[in-house]
Amino acid sequence: MSKSNIVFSTDPDFNNQNTNSIEQKNSSKQDLRVHLDRRKGGKIVTLIRGFNGSNKDLIELCSAMKRKFSIGGSVKEGTILLQGNIREKVIEFLKLSGHNAKPSGG
């Protein structure tokens, strides 16, 4: 079943904020590691690992970065792969989004 945003309640003091705060806690304050990897043909790929959350949230984060930096990328096995050496830009973007991001590797 699809998740609906409509909530019915007979309580006049009902506040719908409680359900939204749980979802925000899961997607924010992630401890992420940003790696660089060299693939076939000498292509450099930026990898983002350590995301704990749903696959849907991971795909949304990847899509936001792809739009922001106008690059290609994908999500595979819980890791975000972005084309090119954009580690510093990614770390800055993730920190502004409320995540803890650190460079990792060489």
When mean pLDDT is compared across 7-11, 50-54, 90-94, the lowest value belongs to 7-11
Domains and CATH numbers, the chain: 32-103 (3.30.780.10)
The average pLDDT across 85-95 equals 93
- Alpha carbon of 62 to those of 1, 39, 46, 78, 81: distances in Å? 25, 19, 12, 11, 8
Average pLDDT, the chain: 83
pLDDT of residue 72 exceeding 60: yes
